[in-house]
Amino acid sequence: MVDKNLVLRKISQLDEYHSQILEFAQVTAAEYSAEWKTRRIVERTLQVMIELTADIGHHIIADQGLRTPDSYADTFRVLGEAEIIDASLSSMMQSMAGFRNVVVHGYDKIDEGIVISILSQRLGDFILFKDAVLAFIKAQDEE
């Protein structure tokens, strides 16, 4: 059985970060490029949000005895394979995991276009992830 309290605490954190990052949803590429504080806040907040979703995913994967993911991106692939999240969300979250790796490991310069795209079009994916997890937990409770 999934540790519902742990998952709900992480979801609460995700909600908090989501509401904070929404303050930056209308940032333009020029503003993002010009303001180091904005870049730092946005990049770090997105990193933590992606890590929270992966942590939630790892917990569910372990609880369900699913195959062990070999990367952050694979975490979302496993959740998609198990139909805990749908294929479209799985794909988007895999891309988010790739973005997280760039932020954390500095593999490459962070593409401001990707950041602006996430801010303006993809923040809802975190809500979709949360909703899918809550639906999964509810279904578990009903079994």
Q: Which residues contact residue 102 at a Cβ distance below 8 angstroms, ignoring those fewer than 6 apart? A: 108, 110
Quick one: pLDDT at residue 52? Answer: 98
Q: Which residues form the domain of 14?
A: 4-142
The tens digit of pLDDT for each residue in 77-87 reads: 999 999 999 99
Q: What is the pTM of this model?
A: 0.94
The structural domain count of the chain equals 1
* Model pLDDT, residue 107: 63
Q: Which residues of the chain have pLDDT under 70?
A: 1, 107-108
Cβ-proximal residues to 62 (8 Å cutoff; 6+ apart), any chain: none
